[in-house]
């Protein structure tokens, strides 16, 4: 198992990794809309927080040598399911292919976040040589 870490995404706020690679698969921890610069949630709306979440995930994917094109599954947590359509608008911009997905409403998220997303992605063959 190889841990993935990048300063272009927020550091873990607990005893866990941003992501791990096992064989040719990347498993990310859930990302909330923390800015990697300020380590705070700067956006107050679902669109802004979702955009930051997806940018954080993109940075982790790139650090592992892969991209959204290789994502096979996402799990999405929304504080309010009434934000579903607005969340989808931003989320959909990042995917050309459509991975499998679960999306559920939860009662609370870390740091008062409105959204959290985790994903599983395949690592490109040539990227595996670096692990």
From the list 43, 69, 86, 103, the catalytic residue is: 103
Q: What is the CA 21 to chain-centroid distance, rounded?
A: 15
| SS3 category, 56 | helix
Separation CA 32–CA 29 (nearest Å) = 10
76 is catalytic: no
Backbone angles phi, psi at 107, to 5 degrees: -80, -25
Which positions are catalytic? 103
């Amino acid at each position: 198992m190889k841990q993935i870490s990048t300063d272009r995404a927020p550091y873990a706020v607990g005893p866990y990794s941003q992501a791990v690679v096992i064989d040719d698969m990347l498993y990310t921890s859930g990302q909330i809309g923390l800015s990697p610069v300020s380590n705070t949630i700067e956006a107050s709306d679902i669109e802004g927080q979702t955009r930051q979440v997806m940018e954080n995930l993109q940075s982790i994917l790139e650090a592992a040598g892969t991209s959204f094109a290789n994502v096979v599954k996402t799990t999405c947590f929304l504080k309010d399911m009434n934000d579903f359509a607005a969340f989808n608008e931003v989320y959909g911009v990042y995917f050309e292919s459509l991975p499998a997905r679960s999306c559920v409403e939860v009662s609370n998220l870390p740091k008062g976040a409105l959204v959290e997303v985790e994903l599983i992605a395949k690592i490109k063959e040539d990227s595996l040589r670096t692990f």
